[in-house]
Chain A
């Protein structure tokens, strides 16, 4: 025998399936994002791990130089001399020894443009599929001599090359022409996981990639009969100090791990937005349940009258939440597969070439989705359930007595307390420890959640007057809304149920508050960045790289030789340990002084040579050093230096906190150098056009380089910021979409509730059109109210974040008025959109049926 509570719960859900459909949809989308984020990251990580297992499958041991500190996979290691291979090959148990060499190499398409890749563009040394590298040969033969190359099949296809074609490739030291003799694949794919890979025979690779008889590391294959660990020990004995031998397994794990970290960051961003959309969904769930409870007032009172206990009523409403949660979580997990597939497809269409991965749903994904999906639904259903339990049985006969129970609340006090604890937590997180740790930032996030809840709660108090004001102010075609009957009805209806109006608007408030906050921060960052750039950058040209790999050093060297240019300096970077902390150190030529104004306080930029270091005022103060004092530095390869402070400067926008000369860098590190960007100034008396022509001519040999003048550079930096913003806005729109669902849902429920009233209005002569208009205008009032709340909350949040951001990042606070006007106009559109179906439903009602309904 099923318990009556279970039966009532299930029947209750079934009877209202259309009313709770939108609720389910809201939860589904949140859960889909959560599970999608996990499924995607798990699957891609799994595929990448497999890829590296295949690529390094035959590498039993690897010899590389040691590092003093830092991340094993991303460290800049000194190269290993190829000569070392002979000694290793002579050891017992060693089957094969290969040089591992991987450098930047860009394929030029037949039309002369560089082949764009979403991943890096590589050139490697390759011994063919019989060697230790796990790459496969899909077509043609392996490259064996100078002038031959094999390219990964996917890149060759994209570039439009077939076997036998002559391919132009740009390496670190210049251009070369090669005959395409082979097409390679990786694992089960024909690509390089988003990278383009040019494979050369070892001798050609050494020359063309500018390796100077040094390899990144040495791969070793062990004979099947020998024990890998014994061979590892034997190699250890012959290795000079500064080198280590590790297993191929560990090496693959380190490399895959570094990539996995990037994927994890991506997954975390997705989870963040999932959290926002779930938070907004919670408002929708809460609202739907609250409305359904008040619509079932008589039914619930009847149940109480015939003997249902308060607890049974609680169980019933919570049970309905549980059913919604379970159904939505199940659908959400399926949706998660869709999200993962969709994002993969989206990125692949953009050329990311995610490795083909079987979608993996781990038990952790399922568990978290269930906990989150059901948890959020239940949490949102608790308050309506408690209210439902308060309905007195006498309301079965006198419904008017029941509504007072539904309206009792200590809202004002709770709201104010929540709001202020939210503001406190938020501010503590932002300001007490600027820059913040994960803990304080988490505090800020919780603070923001409390703040939103507080505002949502307090907004009930202002919902009625605000609705009245909005309906008076909103200039509807030709005359104010309140001058017409539908307008007045819309306005009164919004005021009649302030709690409902407020919580419906609150869902929109959360989304739009985040949008306003982001827009304030973005506008401030943009303004600060432009100001700083104008103030500190004096270079005429900037050269950056299209990919993130940096520029071949040869390019900067050739620019420096141009007579049309005056000062030219590359910007390199390395990592070092100073006072026990890992720091990024910039390496430049003293000419940089003409290109960037770093606002020197003491000393001179000319000290930027042999063994000197320049410091920003902050670290100088922290270390308590002045001009002539020394700083002890440990470089990543273990070398230590004692550098003398040559100057102290105040502007770190471009230069960062630490600067050394290029010559100092070359002395302490033999890792292959890469330029992040190059700055150049036009020589005296040369026109900007002539200089540009000369620079472009050099750049023609380095197709991956992008030459920009000041205005172009500034614009490209802003474009990058805008692209990032577009992604953030895109994801926030999702939360707003859920809020719109919420408005549509509330309006639909209200229309259902007012069936009798609408019948009456129609009976006394209101036209369908007017009825529709009245519903639509009410939705507009609600969304404009939500948008206004969002802006009022979001702008101060944005200002707070702008102020809290470090001065090197944000110096000015800007409120973007155009964005705010756009939000307000968009909210009207949102209202119209949300009202489409409810309005249609209201207009369709049959007059007689409607009047007969109670």
Chain B
């Protein structure tokens, strides 16, 4: 029997990503090997240009590696064609972006169920209700994104990512566009999703306060994993960042 806490939800093995050619070559990822454990909230940190966004794009099947492998569960993404990648994103992966998370023409509820609607799958109503209540969106479901506040929009985005009960959720600076109070609220919701609903979240951020919500922080610099902290606090993260920057 394997302990639940050590099952790998996703991982990168010797992952490299190179943009451009010859002189203008940029090594965005340089032989990165990293695992994300099921039921954990992981933060990826690093200065601008460290490769943290590229790592996430490649992990999520949005972008292809130059070399190395990415696994979601036991699926090797390199083996999938566009069609299989599409259904993988729909069924196994959830996304939360910094902004522009929602389709402006669809209501909050329609946005939440969109991945399942696209896949022609009926949502699990009980789970959906749990997610909606957890995100405190019950009385906002018929609203269009333009009628929601920034925080409410991000909550809808979190709910959408959770709704299909994916294997792993990727969040790209989910609080980058929010004020600190609303940001904290969203992070709390994400934390609940991990602790109460047993979801797995990988979040890219440059904010030490946000990173402190995670169970584990991975530091990237110049395309390489340079450090890692378990059960971080914001002071600890800030301290580590300062050292990396110097």
Query: Are A309 and B83 touching (Cβ within 8 A)?
Result: yes
Decide yes or no whether A342 CB sits under 8 A from chain B: no
Which residues in window 385-425 of A have CB below 8 A to B?
392-394, 396-398
Cβ–Cβ contact A396 & B104, under 8 A? no
Decide if A817 is an interface residue (CB 8 Å cutoff). no
Q: Tell me the smallest distance from the CB of B115 to a CB of chain A, in Å.
A: 4
Question: Judging by beta carbons under 8 Å apart, are B62 and A12 in contact?
Answer: no
Nearest-neighbour CB distance to chain A for B240, whole angstroms, equals 25
Docked-complex contact B90 and A306, CB < 8 angstroms: yes
Is residue B126 within 8 Å, beta carbon to beta carbon, of the partner chain?
Answer: no
State A12–B57 Cα separation when bound (angstroms): 27
Tell me, yes or no, whether B219 is within 8 Å of chain A by CB. Answer: no
* Chain B min CB distance to A458 (Å): 30
Docked Cα-Cα span, A304 to B101, in Å, equals 12
Query: Is the Cβ of B117 less than 8 Å from the Cβ of A397?
Result: no
Does A308 sit at the interface, judged by CB under 8 A? yes
Q: B105 is contacted by which of A8, A304, A305, A306 (Cβ under 8 Å)? A: A8
A residues less than 8 Å from B91 (CB atoms): 307
26 contacts between A and B (CB under 8 A): A3-B120, A4-B117, A4-B118, A7-B110, A14-B105, A15-B105, A299-B100, A299-B103, A299-B104, A302-B97, A302-B100, A303-B118, A304-B86, A305-B89, A305-B95, A306-B95, A306-B118, A309-B87, A309-B118, A310-B86, A392-B62, A394-B62, A394-B63, A396-B95, A396-B100, A398-B57
The 9 A-B residue pairs with the shortest CB-CB distance, nearest first, are: A307-B90, A11-B105, A4-B117, A394-B62, A307-B115, A309-B86, A306-B115, A15-B105, A307-B118
Query: Shortest CB–CB separation between residue B103 and chain A, in angstroms?
Result: 6
The distance in angstroms between the C-alpha atoms of A308 and B118, with both chains bound, is 6
Query: What is the CB-to-nearest-CB distance from B111 to chain A, in angstroms, rounded to a whole number?
Result: 9
Could you say which residues of chain B place their CB within 8 Å of the CB of A7? 106, 110, 117
Residue B69 interfacial (CB < 8 Å): no
Q: Which of A302, A307, A393 has the most CB of B within 10 A?
A: A307
| CB-defined contacts of A308 to chain B, threshold 8 Å | 86, 118
Q: Does B82 sit within 8 A of A, measured CB to CB?
A: yes
Instruction: Report the separation of the CA atoms of residues A298 and B102 in the bound assembly, to the nearest whole angstrom.
Output: 10
- Determine the interface band of chain A, counting residues with CB < 8 A from chain B: 20 to 34
Assess the B98–A306 pair: CB atoms within 8 A.
Answer: no
Tell me the bound Cα distance from A781 to B62 in angstroms: 40
A residues near B82, Cβ cutoff 8 Å? 309-310
* Docked pose: A78 CA to B89 CA in angstroms: 86
Q: Does B30 interact with chain A (Cβ within 8 Å)?
A: no
Contact with B along A1-30 (1 / 0, CB 8 A): 001110110011011000000000000000
Interface residues of B in 172-193 (CB under 8 A from A): 172
Contact A12 B95 (CB under 8 A): no
CB neighbours (8 Å) of A5 from chain B are 118
Tell me the complex Cα distance, A92–B98, Å.
100
Q: Does B53 contact A (CB under 8 A)?
A: yes
A298 proximity list for chain B (CB < 8 A): 100
Kindly list chain A residues whose C-beta atoms are within 8 Å of the C-beta of B224: none
Residue of B nearest to A308 (CB): B118
A284-319 interface code vs B (CB 8 A; 1 in, 0 out): 000000000000001100111111111010000000
Q: Report the separation of the CA atoms of residues A307 and B90 in the bound assembly, to the nearest whole angstrom.
A: 4
Question: Quick one: given A4-B118, A11-B105, A299-B104, are A393 and B110 in contact (CB under 8 Å)?
Answer: no
Rounded to whole Å, the gap between the CB of A467 and the closest CB of chain B is 30
B49 within 8 A of A: no
A394-B53 Cα distance, complex, nearest whole Å? 11
The closest CB in chain A to the CB of B53 belongs to A397
Expressed in whole angstroms, the minimum distance between the Cβ of A81 and any Cβ of chain B is 82
Q: Please give, as numbers and ranges, the residues of chain A lying within 8 Å of B43 by CB-CB distance.
A: none
Q: Which of A417-476 contact B (CB under 8 A)?
A: none
The answer for the CA separation of A778 and B210 in the assembled complex, in Å, is 47
Q: Is the CB of B89 within 8 A of A306?
A: yes
By a CB distance below 8 angstroms, the chain B residues around A302 are 97, 100-103
Closest to A395 in B: B62
Q: Is B160 an interface residue, CB under 8 A from the partner? A: yes
Interface code B37-66, partner A: CB below 8 Å = 1, 0 otherwise? Answer: 000000000000000010001001011000
Considering the chains assembled together, what is the distance between the CA atoms of A392 and B118 in angstroms? Answer: 17
Task: State how many angstroms separate the Cβ of A740 from the closest Cβ of chain B.
Answer: 30
